[in-house]
Chains A and B, each alone.
Chain A
């Protein structure tokens, strides 16, 4: 009987974990649509969905190609519970192009003269709070001519 109870509890815990993960993903989709997409303003959004549930101390990295002659908005949009996210833009060789640290902005507007691959790195700050929260982080790209 005890074995059956253990199996049932384990199954329930697994299903709750999966359910919570699915709930978090669904909330991220809604969060991104309402809180992040509007910040692209007149830029045409890229249709890649680069969103994850992160916790303090996590990092995210995005590799992509930016085309010469186009202007871009790179938007790093995270839930406020995670604090101020820092992000850097690096060229294909790993050289720094932009660093948001100490800047009060969650986006970087720029124009690309020559097509090139770049890497975007995002850091979620550490937290000393007793109860740690996870939150949605979305890296969004919009472009215009």
Chain B
């Protein structure tokens, strides 16, 4: 697979002297952002200089910024747990394989896959596995140049809080949020997208490992992923194309074909308000799926997952 980091770094030396000069000028332009890591996220004083996050603009024409979001691996794991899935270590990607992923594309997708495993272990209170997969994530994040976001202090904090599920959930979500932010800030949106794809694939893979004993709720949750697959494909298509992104989109074609068997009848959403003032949104799509379609989804997702993980 292509290594985009090499591409991005090419030509950097030729601008080195000018960059140094410019950095010297920029140093006086505002407060430098502190190193962003999940470890400091909860410890840092929640104050900020008023000028942070703003500056005079030179842009004059308005634009429309479009975002696409997918469920985080923790959110998917929470849904799986609530749907009656049983935890099985055998379903997780072998942590020992991490050192074998040598390209940026494989490292990014498998970081997402391991994020799925880490989230799954965290939600099911499998603390030993959770710490193990956090260490694996650290290794791959390091390979991707953002290893400082999962440093020794973070691992130590996770170890100290291994019995407190909410703390581990916070550590996992804030770590991957910081990782996404850093990758986008560094112009590595494609890597961020591949990680999101890996996480999505692993979530559906883990949810479809034992369909024989699946509850109706789990079947519905799997079928609903047709909607999130749309979100994922839009997310991947929103970034400048790379060989790895194009490869992932092509791999997902088979999954989309399998999900085509999920029937969705659209209805308008409507709202109501509970006695305590909370808005409840109901209506929306009516989703149905056959066991045959679920089996096809399970097979297609396993095919993509194993293409990257094995």
Contacts and interface: CB of A to CB of B under 8 A. Distances in A.
Given A30-B33, A133-B55, A115 B224 contact: yes
Q: How large is the interface on A (under 10, 10 to 19, 20 to 34, 35 or more residues)?
A: 35 or more
Contacts of A31: 48, 52-53
Given A61-B64, A61-B67, A65-B231, A20 B29 contact: yes
Interface string B54-97: 11111110111111111111110011001000000000000000
A136 B18 contact: no
B284 to A, nearest CB: 3
Interface residues of B, number: 84
A60 B69 CA distance: 13
B127 interface: no
A113 B278 CA distance: 12
B246 interface: no
Contacts of A16: 22, 25-26
A48 to B, nearest CB: 4
B281 A47 contact: no
A130 to B, nearest CB: 11
A65 B55 CA distance: 33
A88 interface: no
A49 B184 contact: yes
A102 B69 CA distance: 27
A6 interface: no
A33 B44 contact: yes
B260 interface: no
Interface in B99-129: none
Contacts of A113: 280-283
A116 B69 contact: no
B93 to A, nearest CB: 19
A67 to B, nearest CB: 6
Contacts of A11: 15, 18
Interface in A87-114: 91-93, 95, 97-98, 108-114
Interface string B219-232: 00100100110110
Contact of B269 (A23, A80, A97): A97
B160 interface: no
B234 interface: yes
Given A15-B19, A92-B266, A132 B57 contact: yes
Given A27-B52, A135-B53, 5 more contacts: A55-B59, A59-B65, A66-B281, A67-B224, A117-B227
Interface of B: 15, 18-19, 21-23, 25-26, 29-34, 36, 41, 44, 46-48, 50, 52-60, 62-75, 78-79, 82, 169-170, 173-174, 176-182, 184-185, 192, 196, 221, 224, 227-228, 230-231, 234, 266, 268-269, 271, 274, 278-287
17 contacts: A15-B15, A29-B36, A29-B185, A34-B52, A47-B73, A47-B176, A48-B67, A49-B180, A65-B227, A69-B82, A91-B269, A97-B269, A113-B281, A117-B227, A118-B269, A134-B55, A135-B54
